[in-house]
Amino acid sequence: MTSSRVHVGGADPYDVVIGTGVLAELPGLLGEGVRTVAVVHNEELPEIARPVREALEAAGLVVHPLPVPAGEAAKEVGVLAGLWSRFAEVGVTRSDAVVGVGGGATTDLAGFAAASWLRGVRAVLVPTTLLGMVDAAVGGKTGINIAQGKNLVGAFHPPAGVLCELTTLESMPREDYISGLAEVIKAGFIADPVILDLVEDDPEGACGAAGPHTRELVERAVRVKADVVAADLRESGLREILNYGHTLAHAIEKAEDYRFRHGHAVAVGMVYAAELSRLAGRLPAGLVDRHRAVLASVGLPTSYRADAWPALREGMRVDKKSRGATLRFVVLDGLAEPGRLAAPAEDLLAAAYRRVSG
């Protein structure tokens, strides 16, 4: 086993274990007194959940695999209610635990199920995608979607630990892996420019798990998020910077009925936020160009349909960063210098979108 740890501080501290052969650490992360473990996993990938189950059973735990739909279809009220019923049937008590295994949608659901069952039971997350490792599983945000928007129902529920088994990335489809790179690149723009240097050094290598910088990219992106959420778990201020590019991205996902890859939407959203920053006189054109160049170098989109603006503008009205009727954006004042832009003028919003429409 080769691994490293990123510590997430705060009121409920935990470790993110990153490496190969790390599943042996899973029982230890659950803590004392656990007898029954509900393993929530993607129903289409039972083979991913199998080694998790075996690691838990080897420690003498009673394990109940609970399959859920793949992707965003898992993050529905009906699926969550089904998990509650299953928790009752298998006897998950307050001293027991939930383990979420899969991509970001699965770990979001598993985390919220743990947060809401008996007013909160322990959860350990085992993300199996790049997006899950660097974003969804770290930070304690859990939730589901409703028709009006993504992640509007949820809770802050820090896990007892996160295991990033890097070998699971090897079987990811290339497009899905590249989608996850958007969140890695985002971490570079808001906090750690070395990430951008590593991607620019070898764009093709960055596009797969076998690349020379994979482990460092994952560790750096996780550390950016860990540092932010340790200082601001409940998104009262600093944590908003992690939503760079997400205001437009969530509107795109909603317009596409969540069939558009999250990372692809975030890529477009980052270019939009950069253009908004430039038009507001806060970001030089060269850094906007760098957004387009680094994202395009790994095959991520940098534009979206011109005719979509009315629907996207309406979709942005329901955004978690909004305060009352005031729309707020995370923008950049320079490389690794995030800021906020509140209540931008409508003509500014439209002008920025024209720069990313194609």
Instruction: Decide: 60 and 94 in contact? Cβ < 8 Å.
Output: no
Q: Provide the pLDDT for residue 94.
A: 96
Catalytic residue among 243, 253, 264, 320: 243
Catalytic residue among 186, 223, 239, 292: 239
Q: Provide the pLDDT for residue 62.
A: 97
Q: Is 44 a catalytic residue?
A: no
| Residue 32 marked in a binding site | no
Q: Is 337 a catalytic residue?
A: no
Q: Is 235 a catalytic residue?
A: yes
Which CATH architecture is the domain 174-232+244-356 placed in?
A: Up-down Bundle (1.20)
| Residue 214 marked in a binding site | no
Mean per-residue pLDDT pooled into runs of 10, the chain (358 residues): 87 93 93 95 89 96 96 94 98 97 95 97 97 92 87 93 95 95 98 98 96 95 93 78 95 90 97 98 97 98 97 83 73 97 96 94
| Residue 289 marked in a binding site | no
| Residue 107 marked in a binding site | yes
Q: Is 246 a catalytic residue?
A: yes
Q: Provide the pLDDT for residue 238.
A: 83
Q: Is 225 a catalytic residue?
A: yes
Q: Is 141 a catalytic residue?
A: yes
Q: Is 43 a catalytic residue?
A: no
Q: Is 25 a catalytic residue?
A: no
| Residue 254 marked in a binding site | no
CATH of 2-171, one of 3.40.50.1970, 1.10.760.10, 2.20.25.90, 3.30.465.10: 3.40.50.1970
Domain ranges of the chain: 2-171, 174-232+244-356
Q: Provide the pLDDT for residue 1.
A: 61
| Residue 59 marked in a binding site | no
Q: For 174, how many CA atoms within 13 A lie in the half-sphere containing its CB?
A: 8
DSSP string over 40-54: EEETT-HHHHHHHHH
pTM: 0.91
Catalytic residue among 32, 119, 259, 323: 119
CA 279 → CA 222, 267, 341, distances in Å? 31, 19, 12
Q: Is 317 a catalytic residue?
A: no
Catalytic residue among 250, 254, 290, 328: 250
Catalytic residue among 25, 183, 253, 275: 183
CA 92 → CA 62, 178, 290, distances in Å? 10, 37, 50
In the numeric block, the tokens 């009262």 are attached to 236
Residue from 73, 80, 85, 87 nearest 43 by CA: 73
Same CATH fold, 174-232+244-356 and 2-171?
no
| Residue 167 marked in a binding site | no
| Residue 247 marked in a binding site | no
| Residue 93 marked in a binding site | no
Q: Provide the pLDDT for residue 83.
A: 98
Catalytic residue among 41, 157, 223, 225: 225
